[in-house]
Structure 1
């Protein structure tokens, strides 16, 4: 693989248009800005939530310590009675029971929020109840929660018993289970939920509302940026079309100077450049006309003096030199004359024009060396005589070197294309551009100035088009004349 092709493949997903690149850069900028601001906002939200979670945990631990102190103060015989009243009446934030040993349950995985709550609760309880008290504090899933010594699950209890303290339906938040030894073989069991909105122990991501906000703001921003870029790039498209379709000597209206100040400056520079080119072409035509007039007289005078020479060998030598000089002058003047035709642009019926050019070769009057397929869908706006000379030169070249010519017309809304195939030897690929140079003939024995294809290409360029060559796989050369459809009228 050539090294020059690798960057193209690497960036093949990057849009090529100005609008696409602006939208892509805007989207990346919006996503980066929104992502950064969302990360800052989310970190501040999590910090405030962590602080609120710690405060709620301390408040909950204070209530636990008060409940433990209350049960410690009760006589042993009254403690079951108080528990029954609490279960029946409700009104407490804990589900409380007395067990003869701490219950074993599967704990929830460790998270930063879980560890922060457990540390706060344990710190408050040991400050209130004493450092030496035996206790276990953990978070348990509702499905793994056990209540009494027998290991009963929460859903096996009467609904009223846990309705006030552990009412988590339809959610299933983690339950904080605290087991504290208040006497020999007597463990006080306290189960509770964290107060809202701190019921979750996981770090929450961006809220759905925040995601919708990012999507809506990004969408509206891309819409407005797209409209702005499309509005500003329209003059650039007109400038590109005018530059692509600009023809030498074409008298058209100046390019409208619209858009931003930079685009206006570029449009003004383009109009000035086109005016300078037009003046240069006009001055060149006048210069060559003057040269033609000035050279014709001395060449004629020299021919008359050559005829007066007595030495026939010198006369023949001078005559050959004058013929060569006249041939060079005629070739140069023909090149300028045929590529700088001052005509007005008008609708041209190319079907009729091509038919007129090839008619001498078509049967029954002609020898059948030319075939024609296809047709133009509508008139083409151009210079009639220049187009006739352009197509005629291409056809003459095909018949001169290929003996037969096959013409194919293709037409659509973008361009009119004429393919001229011959049956000759073709042109080596490395010399295909060389044949468009003046006075270049690959077949030295053929007569002519070697200007036909060069003149044809120049006329095509004057119409914003192109003439290209390609060797056919089955043999022969294909000359393609492509003329863009410009100046079209509705």
Structure 2
């Protein structure tokens, strides 16, 4: 699917980035779940308080309605006038000859719960036979008398204290109860604090800030922790990359990290010692083989010269030459790849010029050309790198007649392309030519070790040697060497 490559691009590669990403996801998930649970409990608690307040308000309404029902019909308007004159009552109450029609508010879960609670209490207190209407109305749409007067058209003392809560202007709960034929009791009131609003409560800003500060604190703490723990790993990786296998190599510093990092460092030191010991034993073994083989080969040559049969003598000499060639090739392979040098900055421009100077025009034959230059010194083994690049150039001149060198250099790696004008290498043999003593048909020069030695030296520096047949003919050999760390321009 097309989204998978995008996810790979967004996925961080460093340990610090991955830990921070996992921390962010974990914090968001944990805080989101806890906030959702907390908010649901808060809403349930507020809804319970709202319903209880609505029931208390409904009982007061039922008491007022019962009081008016107990009064003679002629006294009811007089009592209402006295209540309006007193002011400050909880309800605004009026008697109308019909139920007033008003535009009600859109119902919400909280308004439905209030209306249901008020209706249940009123019907329980006053009886189910009465017509009761309970709705929520906006203050701007509120109508108070038969004439349809608005709230702001009444005297301030009549309804200001009961129906306004500036500057909020919350919805008004309007209850209309039919007392008898042609007489409706109108009761308008506000819900008590803190339930004046019918909107669902959102996550408070203080809670949002708390979540943000908690997440930021965790990110900083995790970032510092991972950076503190990954610093020994980076030092260990850098030391392993710059590892020297000589007898005088300094062991890696394994202090300053966790127990796992210390254990890896100790294992790497042990591995370095084993490899160094193996190389030393191999060198000694081949030296012993060289000494042991050269003596009988020389003795055999002396005996062959005493043979009178020239044809038989020629066969023996040919076999001894091949045996001597094999011994020299094996010794040269060990000698060229087992180079014990200290790692130091190498001026690759100077190294290449030393290698190709005899071939440059006008003094030379002009068979070698060079484009580009190394911008920084390279940290490596000077003689090994010189032998590696020299083998590539010699191979191009030997089999391709000319060598065209192209340098590409940046802070990440040094690349040297060596192209020739020869017949190239069959595609199925591109990897075989790196094997010791392998030579293509018709190419019997040398020992067949040059490319293999060059690749081994490149591998020891963390690099690679690759082959590519050019479309116009010829072979391109590419040497790529990663840089250990940026240095000053050469």
Counterpart in the other structure of 2:136: 139
Counterpart in the other structure of 2:465: 467
Whether the aligned pair in 2 keeps the contact of 1:362 and 1:371 (CA below 8 Å) is yes
Deviation at 1:56, TM superposition (A): 0.6
Aligned with residue 12 of structure 2, among 11, 15, 24 = 15
Counterpart in the other structure of 1:63: 60
Aligned with residue 43 of structure 2, among 43, 46, 58 = 46
* Deviation sequence 1:108-165 (CA, Å, 0-9, x none): 3443332322232222222332232221112223343322223334344455443111
* Deviation sequence 1:401-435 (CA, Å, 0-9, x none): 32222222333333333222223343344433222
Relative to structure 1, is the Cα distance of residues 86 and 256 closer, same or farther in structure 2, using a 3 angstrom cutoff?
farther
Counterpart in the other structure of 1:223: 220
Counterpart in the other structure of 2:343: 345
Listed as ranges, the matches of 1:265-414 within 5 Å are 265-414=263-412
Quote the Cα distance in structure 1 between the aligned partners of 2:292 and 2:208: 82
Aligned with residue 100 of structure 1, among 70, 88, 97 = 97
Q: Which stretch of the first structure deviates more once superposed, 143-152 or 20-29?
A: 143-152
Whether the aligned pair in 2 keeps the contact of 1:142 and 1:173 (CA below 8 Å) is yes
Quote the Cα distance in structure 2 between the aligned partners of 1:9 and 1:369: 48
* Deviation sequence 1:62-89 (CA, Å, 0-9, x none): 2212222332344434433443443444
Could you list the structure 1 runs, at least 4 aligned residues long, displaced by more than 6 angstroms after superposition. 487-490
Deviation at 1:462, TM superposition (A): 2.3
Query: Structure 2 regions of 5+ residues with no counterpart?
Result: none
Quote the Cα distance in structure 2 between the aligned partners of 1:82 and 1:473: 110
Relative to structure 1, is the Cα distance of residues 250 and 32 closer, same or farther in structure 2, using a 3 angstrom cutoff?
farther
* Deviation sequence 1:330-382 (CA, Å, 0-9, x none): 11111111111223334433222211110111011111111122333344333
* Deviation sequence 1:212-266 (CA, Å, 0-9, x none): 2111101110111011111111222223333334355485432221311111111
Relative to structure 1, is the Cα distance of residues 445 and 123 closer, same or farther in structure 2, using a 3 angstrom cutoff?
closer
Quote the Cα distance in structure 2 between the aligned partners of 1:325 and 1:449: 12
Whether the aligned pair in 1 keeps the contact of 2:333 and 2:449 (CA below 8 Å) is yes
Q: Secondary structure at the match of 1:276?
A: helix
TM-score (normalised: structure 2): 0.91
RMSD of aligned Cα (Å)? 2.5
Q: Secondary structure at the match of 2:10?
A: coil
Whether the aligned pair in 1 keeps the contact of 2:411 and 2:486 (CA below 8 Å) is no
Quote the Cα distance in structure 2 between the aligned partners of 1:210 and 1:487: 47
Relative to structure 1, is the Cα distance of residues 163 and 373 closer, same or farther in structure 2, using a 3 angstrom cutoff?
same
Whether the aligned pair in 2 keeps the contact of 1:88 and 1:160 (CA below 8 Å) is yes
Relative to structure 1, is the Cα distance of residues 82 and 471 closer, same or farther in structure 2, using a 3 angstrom cutoff?
farther
Is 1:149 equivalent to 2:135 in the alignment? no
Aligned with residue 424 of structure 1, among 418, 422, 425 = 422
Counterpart in the other structure of 1:206: 203
TM-score (normalised: structure 1): 0.91
Whether the aligned pair in 2 keeps the contact of 1:362 and 1:370 (CA below 8 Å) is yes
Q: Secondary structure at the match of 2:136?
A: strand
Relative to structure 1, is the Cα distance of residues 472 and 231 closer, same or farther in structure 2, using a 3 angstrom cutoff?
farther
Q: Which stretch of the first structure deviates more once superposed, 478-487 or 242-251?
A: 242-251
Q: Secondary structure at the match of 1:441?
A: coil
Q: Secondary structure at the match of 1:426?
A: coil
Deviation at 1:474, TM superposition (A): 4.7
Deviation at 1:52, TM superposition (A): 0.9
Q: Secondary structure at the match of 1:482?
A: strand
Q: Secondary structure at the match of 2:103?
A: coil
* Deviation sequence 1:19-40 (CA, Å, 0-9, x none): 2221122122212221222222
Quote the Cα distance in structure 1 between the aligned partners of 2:173 and 2:485: 82
Whether the aligned pair in 1 keeps the contact of 2:376 and 2:487 (CA below 8 Å) is no
* Deviation sequence 1:248-298 (CA, Å, 0-9, x none): 548543222131111111111111111111111111111111111111101
Relative to structure 1, is the Cα distance of residues 256 and 87 closer, same or farther in structure 2, using a 3 angstrom cutoff?
farther
Query: Structure 1 regions of 5+ residues with no counterpart?
Result: none
Whether the aligned pair in 2 keeps the contact of 1:138 and 1:178 (CA below 8 Å) is yes
Counterpart in the other structure of 1:190: 187
Relative to structure 1, is the Cα distance of residues 101 and 375 closer, same or farther in structure 2, using a 3 angstrom cutoff?
same
Quote the Cα distance in structure 1 between the aligned partners of 2:8 and 2:349: 45
Aligned with residue 166 of structure 1, among 145, 163, 166 = 163
Quote the Cα distance in structure 2 between the aligned partners of 1:20 and 1:444: 55
Whether the aligned pair in 1 keeps the contact of 2:370 and 2:406 (CA below 8 Å) is yes
